[in-house]
Structure 1
């Protein structure tokens, strides 16, 4: 049964009719997808073939061009799928790498030498031109030099330094944080070199990083990114 008003206008019909403002609001609220998917392309292409003019069919050049376009679309979708898989794999690898660093020793440029239970502390310095002589000073938390070591001529490359946790008299020093000051002399000139001090990783986290990269907290309170680690040892 159809209801109508005296002028023949149906209220049921009016409820399905939208004003211009309502139409624009609905249109704005719906997401616009300007990308044509594989199925949509095939549907459009086959429809075009079915409805072409038999007296003026699509020429070979146009046909080949559309097939090439389809091939590009298919390759693009395949590449996107491959990239998604790669990103997932890299994320999983990052998680494994970050968590596996806990408890390991990493080289921290300018890091603090943490002495624990008298265990030796190692460090490395890079000598791009070699050196006629190298010296190491160990400084405690009050700024006093508690140990001095000198080394002779060194070749180009990395030099390993080790402090056994004792002072100049061979007396064991208390556990705590110390700093290494390294100087190298070459051709009569002396310069200070910042060492990479081997420090133990005590925690790892990627929480709060915009790109999901891992941050490592090492003994001595310093935090560094996984990409900043120059060397790793057990």
Structure 2
């Protein structure tokens, strides 16, 4: 009676990730291929030298692992799609609202009050904010004294007909500069999905990723 070599059955079933045409096989197709090979081997095995049960068990465990990974990947893709839909619904509720995003422009309301914010990477013993006009001329320097790490807001009374106002933050701790990220108040005009990335369209700052929104005011 002819015999079939079982030593490479796992590599034949699991290693053949592509069909003769070069098309990638799914875990289900690989599982079917493995089982057919296994049945053929058992039908043609040498009665005096039967297949090792431990080897069969190991091969079955391996193909089960491949199938499980395939199902896990499908679940992750499905969860990612659901997460994106949830984010879109949450972001849609921001339309028409003010948000804090990275930027150094000052928003001036109808009463002439300019609002700005920034984030300190660590505590500082001296923090100042310089307000500049459209030409880069310093209009005022606001001293905020020592501040802890985190987000800080400030207000400034803008002169009449002021436009194009920007600000810079200078922070130091024991004479060493502290990283300060300027934030701007802007209004959300629209929300949309661009190639799997959720973006917000802002009235002043234009389009930026939804993840860059630091807060809602």
TM-score by length of 1: 0.65
Partner of 1:136: 129
Q: Which runs of 4+ in 1 moved over 6 A?
A: 188-192
Distance 1:115 1:56 in 2: 88
Partner of 1:174: 161
Question: Which structure 2 segments of 5+ residues have no match?
Answer: 1-18
- Secondary structure at the aligned position of 2:146 is classed as coil
Residue 212 (structure 2) pairs with residue 228 (structure 1)? yes
Distance 1:127 1:73 in 2: 45
Matching residue within 31, 34, 40 for 1:41: 34
Report the CA distance shift for 1:194/1:83 in structure 2 as closer, same or farther (over 3 A): closer
Question: Which structure 1 segments of 5+ residues have no match?
Answer: 1-26, 168-172
- CA displacement at 1:68 relative to structure 2: 2.0
- Is the Cα–Cα contact under 8 Å of residues 108 and 158 in structure 2 kept in the other structure? no
Report the CA distance shift for 1:41/1:175 in structure 2 as closer, same or farther (over 3 A): farther
Matching residue within 120, 128, 147 for 1:126: 120
Where do residues 61-140 of structure 1 align in structure 2 (5 Å cutoff)?
61-118=54-111, 120-126=114-120, 128-132=122-126, 134-140=127-133
Residue 200 (structure 2) pairs with residue 216 (structure 1)? yes
- CA displacement at 1:96 relative to structure 2: 3.0
Partner of 2:192: 205
TM-score by length of 2: 0.69
- CA displacement at 1:86 relative to structure 2: 2.3
